[in-house]
Amino acid sequence: MANSRNTTLAVLTLSLVALAGSLFAGTGFAASLVIWVAINVLLAASFRFVQLIGELNFAIAGFVGLGAYMSGICTAKLGLPFAVALVSAALAATLLSLVVGYITLRTKGPYFMLISFAFTEVLRMIYTQIEYIGGNSGMIGIFPPVLLTDYYPAFVVAIVLLLLLALYRLEQSDFGKVLVAIRNNDAIVQTVGINVHLTKVLCLAISSFVAGIGGALLAHANNVISPGDFSFLLAVYTLAYIKVGGESHIAGPILGASVLTLLAQVAMGFGPYEHIFYGAAIVIAVLLMPDGLVGIIRKLLGLAPRAQVTARH
């Protein structure tokens, strides 16, 4: 379809523009902003991936935190190469999510949300109790390798683009269809011979893999991490990005995270109104833009609106 080829071309162009732009971001405030937007986009995409099975993954902060701490230990404490830090962050988050997901995905809806929230808080409290990683004060000295220092924004954008592509391909694949089918009616999916539970666990694992890398990138961008960075609030902000951007397409988290992060910078100029800002963003998005910015764009382009999918619980 010509439409889809145009879209692919457009996406490719935008990605290259983003990448090129980030090469010139330098090392000052612009660089931080680029990194910040990119990581928020990544986390939003990760959260959204679990929405394919109809769940709100409030455990995301736990996996981001684990990735951050794991990479921090590798870099700041053990002096290992950056690549090792990244890989171990991803692996740790994935492995933990396999174990936790196997247990928690037996529940659904509000029960799953609560158990995920509980898991995040438990992890956070554990971090505060471990001296090796700095306890409540956190860990410092997490720097990207010298070679990357000037190009860290570009590096982050490149990794984020790659992961976004991977998530998109997965969503469009047969595996993605099974996930959406599970959200629609998991009894039917079981009936035709698919192990729904393991599929859900795999979905969470993929999301956590991405979240873990996001955590590592975050740690090396901020150079300092503490348990408070990985609380429930992180998941709520991620949710805000998705609600504003729109859930029905992967462009949603990209738009939402970009727009909100940039707007937040503007709003911050007026005072410390972070909670009001994000809270209002979610409320307005939910009440007035059910399909987010993506929905608005669809309307402007004259495309049919996506079918409203609600999880059955």
Give the pair of three-digit tokens for residue 205: 């694992």
* Residue with smaller CB distance to another protein, 63 or 155: 63
Q: Say whether residue 221 binds another protein (CB under 8 A).
A: no
Are the C-beta atoms of 93 and 208 separated by less than 8 Å? yes
Q: What is the CA radius of gyration of the chain?
A: 19
What's the min distance (Å) between Cβ of 115 and another protein? 5
Give the pair of three-digit tokens for residue 123: 């992890």
In terms of DSSP H, where are the helices of 130-151? none
- Please tell me the distance from the alpha carbon of residue 227 to that of residue 64, in angstroms, as a whole number: 11
Q: Say whether residue 140 binds another protein (CB under 8 A).
A: no
What's the min distance (Å) between Cβ of 245 and another protein? 13
Site for another protein in 36-75 (CB under 8 A): 54, 56
Residues paired with residue 140 on neighbouring β-strands, in sequence order = 224
Give the pair of three-digit tokens for residue 297: 């764009």
* Residue with smaller CB distance to another protein, 146 or 307: 307
Sign, Cα dihedral of 34, 36, 41, 42: positive
Question: Looking at 9, 81, 106, 147, which residue binds another protein (CB under 8 A)?
Answer: 106
* Residue with smaller CB distance to another protein, 61 or 285: 285
Find tokens 């954008």 and name the residue. 157
Q: Which residues contact 246 (CB under 8 A, 6 or more apart)?
A: 252, 255, 256, 289, 291, 292, 293, 294, 295
Site for another protein in 234-293 (CB under 8 A): 236, 239-240, 243, 273-283, 285-287
Question: How far out from the chain centre does Cα 272 lie?
Answer: 24
Q: Say whether residue 115 binds another protein (CB under 8 A).
A: yes
Backbone phi, then psi, for 290, in 5-degree steps?
A: -60, -30
# chain residues binding another protein, by CB under 8 A: 60
Q: Say whether residue 170 binds another protein (CB under 8 A).
A: no
What's the min distance (Å) between Cβ of 186 and another protein? 10
Residue ranges binding another protein (CB under 8 A):
54, 56, 103-104, 106-111, 113-115, 117-119, 121-122, 125, 174, 177-178, 180-181, 184-185, 187-196, 236, 239-240, 243, 273-283, 285-287, 307, 309-313
